[in-house]
Structures are given as C-alpha cells and as structure tokens.
Amino acid sequence: MPSIALRASDAIRLDFDFAQSDHGFSAGFADYPQNEDSSQYQLTNSWQARPTNLGGSPALFISGINHSDDLFMFWKKRITGLPPNTSVILTMEIQLASKYAEGLVGVGGAPGESVTIKAGAVALEPQAVVDPREGWLRMNLDKGNQSVGGSNMSVIGNIAKPDDGNANYVLLTRHQHGQPISSRTASDGSLWLIFGTDSGFESLTALYYSRLTVWINRADKPHLWLEPDSTPGTLRLIWNQGTLFSNTTLGPNWPAVNVTKRPYTINTNTEPRRFWRVSQP
C-alpha cells in the first residue's frame, strides 16, 4: 500500500485486494487455554489459493477447531501516516469465502450463524495474552464475546451463506455501512486494523478473506464518498458517520438546494462543493 496522509479536510480509502498480496497482514488466535495442546485446535493460516470454483486466486486463509467453544481467529495490520492522537471514524467492508449454509445444526451452535464476524481498529497492537486468573489466551482489546461486539470491534454479520444445496465456497460481503466504529490513533499517527471471527460452533471453521476496504476520516470532519459500485456503470454513496437519512443534519457547510426542476443539474462553476443536500419538493 502507498503511504497515506489524513489532513484536516481529507479522508482516506484503503483497498486491500488479497488476490494481489497479503499486504503485510498477520494472523492470530485467542480464547483457548494456554496449557492445552494447541495441535488439537489445528490452528492454520496462510496466503493461499482459493477453491477452484472461485477462480483459484490467492486469499488470506485461516482455520481452526473450536474445542474451547470460544475460539477467536483474526488478521491484523498496522497502518501509518495518520494524525497523531486523533479520534477517527472507520467503516470496514470485508469480502470472504464461506461454505457454511444457513440453517444447519452443529455442535454447540450452527456452523454458519454461530460464527460471528467482527472488525475494528485500535492504537496498540492486537495480541493474545495470558489472563493470569484463568490461564487462557485472551485479546488485549475489547472485542466483546461471541455474538456480542465490544468497544474496539463491532459485529458485522456471520459466515452463513444462503443454502444452495452444496458445500462449495461462495463469496460473501459483510460491512459496517451505517454503523461505523470509532478509534483513536497512537502518538506516532499509527493504527492497527483487525478483523476476524468469534465462534460458538465447536468444530472446524475454515475461511478465505478476499478483500478488505476501509474508509477513514477524522471524527470531527464528516465525510461522504461517491465511488463506483461493483456493478458496472453504477455509483454508491458512502457516508462515514452512520446511517444517512433524509433528515440527517450535515452542518452549515452543506446548505440545502431548492429544487424546482428535476433532475437537478450541478453547476460546478457556481457550486464548488463535492456534495449537495437536495431538499424535498
């Protein structure tokens, strides 16, 4: 990834396509006893080819058997070039491949719905550390537990795919659009991105992460993105402060435009703003 800079009036968008590279992400595991034989959990991670039905391009692969009924499997990366000690808003979107269909019954929980996907960001490096009270490896951040999110990571869905009658992997997209997460950068302007799964399914989970997209802006500088969608010829509007309603207040720099004729044509010579709030007729 190129170096990034987030100025007072700017925002950034990061796109990590794991078909091209692992982009320096590293994996980890937590929520299991330190002294238990970890080989029983078959904890595995690598940058490897996806199944052939998905084209075989590389992705971030991670897997493990949830003997603890609480296994957390994650990927993390440090980004730099942000303003130091600054509150920021992040919206994260993840594309992953899963083979676990909706409505299945499994040990301890469903293999799809009971494996929760979470994403977030923190100033310190996310690590699994030993909890001296119980001897378990626990995260040094607040991710919540299983289907519940925490202050540092929010729930963005589960790994259940629509029931298509087979065990093939399919691509799923999970995101925080409408529910961004807040964080604060470190004194050196860095931030750690983290995403992963919190499992209540007591058996093997194996996933391929294909892409991570992150929108970041200063918490005191709301931002909108207008960008191409996955469907050719279409655009989508990304509002990085939460759900954008028709009555959302955008502040004094976003005056309403009285519309007498629709569609309303933007005159960039007299209206030098990137976005406009169009009032209702």
Q: Measuring CA to CA, which residue among 151, 180, 184 is closest to residue 83?
A: 184
Q: Convert the pLDDT of each residue in 142-159 to its tens digit.
A: 999 989 999 999 999 999
Burial of 229 (0-12, 13-18, 19+ CB in 10 A): exposed
Confidence class of residue 3 from pLDDT cuts 50, 70 and 90?
Answer: very low
Q: Measuring CA to CA, which residue among 170, 191, 196, 193 is closest to residue 60?
A: 196
Confidence class of residue 252 from pLDDT cuts 50, 70 and 90?
Answer: low
Q: Convert the pLDDT of each residue in 58-87 to its tens digit.
A: 999 999 999 988 899 999 999 999 999 999
Instruction: Domain 11-235: state its class.
Output: mainly beta
Please state the domain extents for the chain. Answer: 11-235
Q: Which residue's structure tokens are 């050719």?
A: 232
pLDDT at 39 over 50: yes
Q: Is the dihedral of CA 231, 233, 239, 243 positive or negative?
A: negative
**Mean pLDDT, all residues of the chain:** 85
State pTM to two decimals. 0.84
Q: Convert the pLDDT of each residue in 214-225 to its tens digit.
A: 999 988 877 777
Percent of the chain with pLDDT over 70: 83
